[in-house]
Amino acid sequence: MILALATIAASAKDFYDENGGYYGPEEFQDFGGAYYTGDYTSPFKTCLGKTDEEIQAKLDQLWDHYFKGASNAKVYFDRGYEAYILDTGNNDVRSEGMSYGMMIAVQTNHKTEFDKLWAFAKNHMWHKSGQWDGYFAWLCGTDGYMRDQNCAPDAEMYFMMSLLFAANRWHDYRYMDDAQYILEKCWKNGNGSLFSESHKIICFQPYNCSDFTDPSYDLPAFVDLFSRWSYTNQDKWMMATYATRNHLYKSSHSRTGLFADYSEFNGQPKSTSYNTNSHKYMYDAMRCAMNFGMDYYLFGADAERQEVMAKRLIDFFEEDDYKHARFNWDGSSPSESYTVGETGANAVACYCLLNNPDYKDAVKRNLEMAWNVKPLTGQYRYYDGLVHYLSMLHLCGAFKIWKSGSMTDSLTGPTTTGVTDKNVDNGWYALDGMKQNCKPSKKGIYVKNGKKVIAQ
């Protein structure tokens, strides 16, 4: 143990970006996921032989297309001090797309665009009182007019996670305050919680539709980080971590590996009167492959079951020859053509199969398909385009867990704080170097014994 920790500490300086953001090891390696190792090597590099330069060029191409491209290519629209992600299929602004845009911006180190998106979301979508307090209106006009107060919980998940990453990567703890506000409001100790208080699984809606869920809202890697970084309800977030991984596995069909768009808390498909396709593998469900593939390479805590899920899913699409996009849960009644979003999400699921020689050809095929996708143009570029873009962040090794610091985060590494090696003593210091009279009573990030720590 001591030798392992010394090795990690010795290499910690390799895990900082130009902002002083830290993404390296945080504790002894229990599972081997990137959270523990800091290893984000791209499978495009190891399996397809792509160079670092080629991978960065691919990321630059995606950013330039969807954020800076022509009017029929981009989804990011600047309003001066604000910006929004446009659902080009419906000509409106959705919390889902806003949160995706913020995650893409923080992972690609575009703070200006992140801040403008967050300004729009805060000013026009974020509820700060009433029953929806802490949540986001899922639908707005491009003018910011709130068209529906209800929330879409996958957005809350991405908003919280992107804000936490932004706070840590850019050392701006106003983001941390905002993230912690939402995290606390997710549990209302009764009606209106984002997660079922009894099942500890995310709800389809906190009100009215709280007795079932959408499996593509299951983001176990995010919930795991919430359980570690939230200032409140850590016990509930910890239980939700286990429940989320269990539900995602139960929602995967035992033969096809497919997921339904909506499901019961026991994993069985959910039929509804207002969505006749809710019990099928449709538009939402394709994201589940990205969700469990992400959890596999970031944490590896549920690796065995996630490998099973990946085998079932990839076997099914191999048999279909990647021709179709929509199915019944059991794989019957195929329809529509295989999509760009599925191409990306299923390739992320292949993280679970990288070490299985029986799947070498299938993994390579999926990676090649994801790599060769041309960024979408036209009316329906928004949803599939962004799911593929998020997938490519994972596959390019560009989706990192940005941490506030760790036992290895010594002051010898890059830092933007005012703390120097002269401050390395038993006292508490603010990030601007100001020594505190005692342990801080205000929650936040401080320095103690030369290491960044969270005061709670």
- Catalytic residue numbers read 96, 284
Q: Which helix (H) or strand (E) holds 452?
A: strand 451-455
Q: Which amino acid is it at 78?
A: D
Assigned token pair, 450: 């030369």
Task: Mention every residue, 6+ apart, whose C-beta is less than 8 A from residue 292.
Answer: 220, 248, 302, 306, 309, 310, 349, 352
d(CA 104, CA 91): 21
Tell me which long-range contacts 278-285 makes (C-beta under 8 A, separation of at least 24).
Answer: 279/328, 279/329, 280/326, 280/327, 280/328, 280/329, 281/326, 281/327, 281/328, 281/329, 282/326, 283/383, 284/214, 284/215, 284/216, 285/215, 285/216, 285/258, 285/259, 285/260, 285/261
> Which helix H or strand E contains 348, and what residues bound it?
helix 340-349
Hey, what are 351's tokens? 């993280």
**How far is residue 418's CA from residue 387's CA, in Å, rounded to a whole number?**
39
Q: Which residues contact 399 (CB under 8 A, 6 or more apart)?
A: 40, 107, 294, 390, 393
252 in Cβ contact with 288 (< 8 Å): yes
Token representation of residue 63? 């950013």
Query: In 71-181, which ranges are E strands?
Result: 76-78, 83-87, 92-94, 139-140, 146-148
Q: Which residue has the tokens 């330039």?
A: 64
36, amino acid identity: Y
